[in-house]
Structure 1
Amino acid sequence: MKFFRPLFVFLLLQIPLSAIASGQAELTWYGHAAFKLTTPAGKVLLIDPWLTNPANQNGKDDLAKLEKADLILITHGHFDHVGNSAEIARKTGARLVSTFDLGKAIAQYGGYPEKQMGFDTMGNFGGELTLLDGEVKIAFIPAIHSSTVMAPDGSADKDIHDGGNPGGFLITVKNGPTIYHTGDTDVFNDMTLIRQFGKVDVMLACIGGHFTMGPERAAEAVRLVKPGMVVPMHFGTFPVLDGTVGNFAKALKKLGGKSRLHEMKVGETLKL
């Protein structure tokens, strides 16, 4: 035993301290397009945080219990993506990651604290931000959709404001995965460029149809991006979003490819 003890200590010293200290990245789905990403170092990113969407029966409790958020990422200005961001920001102090046009509109009309946004966390397509002391890199990816902002107490036909251009995010986590959140979009051929700058581990793909690409077009998007795993989102929240995971699976199988489909349940946390 005395021989093995120094050997164990020697082997332990060969392991990088970062590997000992770091945990796993975790991804939680709140339904619709709302996700929480927790990095191995414990930083919390929220993406399109409409926690109280109709698909999430525990939405009010999830919102009440959420005490920590470092960054809030918003893909575009529609209410179902801006969601509960202003309330969460006021409670947690989270900084906004968005385009400048969208950030200004959300601050002016959506109630997001303007002091919690700025040059450090706002950018535009083609740009990439390094945030949280290097814990994450976030690249702005275009999307084919629209983007308007409506004041929380405004009416849909009288109080609509320009929200800039819609987009998605490519999030690279230190000691963790690279995640592509498509936002609301149709498939477009330039999606092939995303993987030229690095492998995508997880693709969060809208499949609902009507306002975004449906299952068949989403499967084509997966073929272009070639992620290790694809998680379907933005379906079933409203009756018109009638794209199903079953049809998405059939379309993926028809196109072939090696991307693994993982159907998350609302409230599920996936360790990455």
Structure 2
Amino acid sequence: MRANRRPVMPFLALLALLLCLPLQAQAKTPTELTWYGHAAFRIKTPGGKVLLIDPWIGNPSNKRAKEDLAALKQVDLILITHGHFDHVGDAVEIARKTGARLVATFDLGNALAQYAGYPKEQMGFDTLGNFGGELTLLDGEVKVAFIPAVHSSTVTAPGGQDAHYAGNPGGFLISVRNGPTIYHTGDTDLFADMALVPRFHQVDVMLLSIGDHFTMGPERAAEAVRLVKPRVAIPMHYGTFPVLTGTPEAFAKALGGRHNGLRVMQVGQTLRF
């Protein structure tokens, strides 16, 4: 009996190792974060899912906009923080091309379908929510929590002049399985309740507006970093228009050297976490 059992143990050990290999490989695959300029980002998860946030790919800062749009053959989710044109951007074109589902508040989703032409069948109870709620999406690959923002939100039809109500503006807290938790602030001013975010989720990467005029500027953005305490802080929404006068240099100065996780991305650059 003992002689017959001995070959079984090495086989079982080998089988267990082989079963673990896919999980280990996925755990070692980084999450990719690409900046297209302004507030537009692409996230690719370790499992290969693709998310776009505020996809104004054709913004003036992106000199490779045409090529970048053509390269977006797979997009699983499009997340939009609020209805302004510089955040809705190319969402409708990309959605029609890829079938991407919309992640937004119910009010914004309805406005985008009614006035901007976003395919209504590509949104629903699974992807639309509201502040305080969290969605589990893509078979658990990501979780998206809705975070308030201090700003405004309207949708204008293509070629139109009238602005239509689009609910309250917001930001997103995106938790990636086997990856980082990313807080995209949207277009917001500093507000004290930002300090509540890390009580529920440790933020690994914070994408925050620093441009001033329409959002918080460098000094208020630096205070937002102190409230949220992210491991990495990445400035966005600056320099696209002349009125957005905030700069990464001013942001770094406002941080006062007390945050060594500051990363200033170049348009088109990809970071891996």
Smaller-chain TM-score bracket: over 0.9
1:60 Cα deviation (Å)?
1.6
Whether contact under 8 Å (1:226, 1:259) holds in the other structure is no
Q: Which residue of 2 aligns with 1:237?
A: 240
Q: Which residue of 2 aligns with 1:269?
A: 270
Distance 2:32 2:72 in 1: 15
2:111 equivalent to 1:105: yes
Q: Which residue of 1 aligns with 2:179?
A: 176
1:132 to 127, 138, 141: 138
1:21 Cα deviation (Å)?
3.4
- Give the AA of the match of 1:266: V
Change (3 A) 1:109 1:10: closer
1:208 to 184, 197, 211: 211
List alignment gaps of at least 5 residues for structure 1.
Answer: none
Q: Which residue of 1 aligns with 2:170?
A: 167
2:66 equivalent to 1:60: yes
1:245 Cα deviation (Å)?
0.2
2:95 equivalent to 1:94: no
SS of the residue 2:220 aligns to = helix
1:12 Cα deviation (Å)?
4.8
- Structure showing greater Rg: 2
Q: Which residue of 2 aligns with 1:193?
A: 196
1:73 Cα deviation (Å)?
0.1
SS of the residue 1:119 aligns to = coil
- Give the AA of the match of 2:25: I
Q: Which residue of 1 aligns with 2:23?
A: 18
- Give the AA of the match of 1:184: D
SS of the residue 1:193 aligns to = helix
Bigger shift: 245-254 or 74-83?
245-254
Distance 1:10 1:73 in 2: 41
Q: Residues 22-65 of structure 1, C-alpha deviation per residue, up to 9 Å, x if partnerless?
A: 41100000000000000000000000000000000111221122
Distance 1:215 1:152 in 2: 32
2:153 to 131, 147, 150: 147
1:17 Cα deviation (Å)?
3.3
Distance 2:218 2:19 in 1: 47
- Give the AA of the match of 1:165: N
Q: Which residue of 1 aligns with 2:43?
A: 37
Q: Which residue of 1 aligns with 2:7?
A: none
* RMSD across aligned positions (CA): 1.8
Whether contact under 8 Å (1:222, 1:259) holds in the other structure is no
Q: Which residue of 1 aligns with 2:253?
A: 250
Aligned length: 262
TM norm structure 1: 0.93
1:208 Cα deviation (Å)?
0.2
TM norm structure 2: 0.92
Whether contact under 8 Å (1:203, 1:231) holds in the other structure is yes
Distance 1:29 1:53 in 2: 12
Identity %: 68
Q: Residues 170-211 of structure 1, C-alpha deviation per residue, up to 9 Å, x if partnerless?
A: 000000000000000000000011000021000000000000
1:16 Cα deviation (Å)?
5.7
Bigger shift: 236-245 or 59-68?
59-68
Distance 2:133 2:266 in 1: 32
Runs of 4+ in 1 over 6 A off after TM superposition: none
Distance 2:232 2:211 in 1: 18
Whether contact under 8 Å (1:136, 1:173) holds in the other structure is yes
